[in-house]
Amino acid sequence: MTSQRIVSGIQPTGQLHLGNYLGALRNWVRMQQALAPGDQAFYFIADLHAITVFQDPATLRQATREMAAALIASGIDPARATLFSHSQVPEHAELAWVLGCVARVGWLNRMTQFKEKSGKDREGASVGLYTYPVLQAADVLLYKATHVPVGEDQKQHLELARDIAIKFNTDYGVEIFPLPEPTIPPTAPRVRSLRDGTQKMSKSDPSEQSRINLTDTPDQILAKLRKARTDPEPLPASEAGLAGRPEAENLVRIFAALTGRSANDICAEFAGRGFADFKPALAEVVIAALAPVSARLRDLLAHPDEIDRLLAEGAARARETAARTLAEVHRAVGFLCP
Ligand code: TRP
């Protein structure tokens, strides 16, 4: 089998929570752990994508460091996976220009995320928000990605990257870009707000009680889970009994995801018992899972220079591969090459 090159990006959002941890973060760590000899993983913080909508500069810088720290604290090993921020590898933006000349306006016009994010004021959206998927294509093609772990919402962007790769290879009669496969993580539960089981757990929820932050202390975690909204019924005997009970379902799914057990199994264990019993048990599980992550996270955040150093090292490594691909591209399209 040929070697895998795993590439993925994540936007820098400050204030990481349990939802982020059980989503992209843990999945990236799993994929890193599954690397075979000769495989490579490139993980980056997509700060170039972040500025497609205005970001306060100091906040962006801090959020980038926080995301890097959270990734390392969750288990990304900068010695095994190449971890960097987008903007420190200028080849991303350079390749995006060339690919922007390959992609068609009609293709971009079909991107649903742009339609959602630009909303009613499409004329007022940034050009960067519109060409965002071209940069994303450059992100993966620059490393000749074979596998790209993304959420469901990014599948369309990945398909566009494949279309761009095919058209580039065909137009220039080369085989520079392999076609990247999206890999959608199978078990990522959608973690919900602790105040309202119909809403996502989110950093933008004004209520601190709605989420468990990766920096929360065990006492805070316990207090938040004790106050988490539930219904008055006891736990059901099986997963099917969670239907129509979004808060109960959320808590059971968090328990299941963190212990690697099935929701059915958890229901069977707690069947007929009330949440007054279940919540402390859940808190124990959450605290045990997050304690090492938050300790490492707090330690890293106290040493921003160390984070910056690790990211700079990652960027230097990424540039070796990136520069090679970009040189091939320049040759293929007819630019003067040294
Ligand atoms: N657009 C992705 C998101 O918002 C982040 C991203 C940027 C990405 N570049 C990427 C994901 C390349 C996968 C590959 O989630």
What is the pLDDT confidence band of residue 293, given thresholds at 50, 70 and 90? very high
Stated pTM of the model: 0.93
Nearest to 297 by CA among 20, 7, 8, 6: 20
Average pLDDT over residues 301-309: 97
Where in the chain are all domains bearing CATH 1.10.240.10? 208-299
Instruction: Based on the residue annotation, tell me whether 155 is a catalytic residue of this protein.
Output: no
pLDDT of the residue at 24: 86
Confidence check: pLDDT of 160 > 90 = yes
* Dist CA 168 CA 103 (whole Å): 9
Check pocket membership of 148 for ligand 1, CB cut-off 6 A: yes
Q: Specify the CATH architecture of the domain 5-183+304-333.
A: 3-Layer(aba) Sandwich (3.40)
pLDDT of the residue at 245: 96
Average pLDDT over residues 140-163: 95
Do 42 and 5 touch, CB atoms closer than 8 A? yes
Instruction: Based on the residue annotation, tell me whether 117 is a catalytic residue of this protein.
Output: yes
Do 267 and 238 touch, CB atoms closer than 8 A? yes
Confidence check: pLDDT of 182 > 90 = no
Check pocket membership of 154 for ligand 1, CB cut-off 6 A: yes
Residue pLDDT, tens place only, 68-123: 999 999 999 999 999 999 999 999 999 999 999 999 999 999 999 999 999 999 99
Average pLDDT over residues 124-130: 97
Ligand 1 centre from 133 Cα, in Å?
Answer: 9
Burial category of 264 from C-beta neighbours within 10 Å (exposed 0-12, middle 13-18, buried 19 and up): middle
Check pocket membership of 133 for ligand 1, CB cut-off 6 A: no
Kindly report the backbone phi and psi dihedral angles of residue 333, in degrees, each rounded to the nearest multiple of 5, phi listed first: -85, -10
Average pLDDT over residues 282-297: 95
CATH number of 208-299: 1.10.240.10
- Tell me how far CA of residue 173 lies from CA of 180, 241, 328, 333, in angstroms: 19, 57, 13, 10
pLDDT of the residue at 54: 96
The residue type found at 257 is: A
The residue type found at 103 is: A
Confidence check: pLDDT of 186 > 80 = no
Ligand 1 centre from 185 Cα, in Å?
Answer: 14
Where in the chain are all domains bearing CATH 3.40.50.620? 5-183+304-333
pLDDT of the residue at 46: 98
Residue pLDDT, tens place only, 211-261: 999 999 999 999 999 999 999 999 999 999 999 999 999 999 999 999 999
What is the pLDDT confidence band of residue 338, given thresholds at 50, 70 and 90? confident
Mean pLDDT computed over every residue of the chain: 95
Confidence check: pLDDT of 1 > 70 = no
* Dist CA 274 CA 272 (whole Å): 7
Ligand 1 centre from 227 Cα, in Å?
Answer: 34
pLDDT of the residue at 283: 97
Confidence check: pLDDT of 286 > 80 = yes
pLDDT of the residue at 337: 84
Do 223 and 239 touch, CB atoms closer than 8 A? no
Q: Active-site residue among 167, 200, 224, 227?
A: 200
Nearest to 310 by CA among 140, 46, 85, 48: 85
Confidence check: pLDDT of 188 > 80 = no
pLDDT of the residue at 142: 98
Residues 42, 45, 51, 53: is their CA dihedral positive or negative? positive
Instruction: Based on the residue annotation, tell me whether 227 is a catalytic residue of this protein.
Output: no
pLDDT of the residue at 187: 63
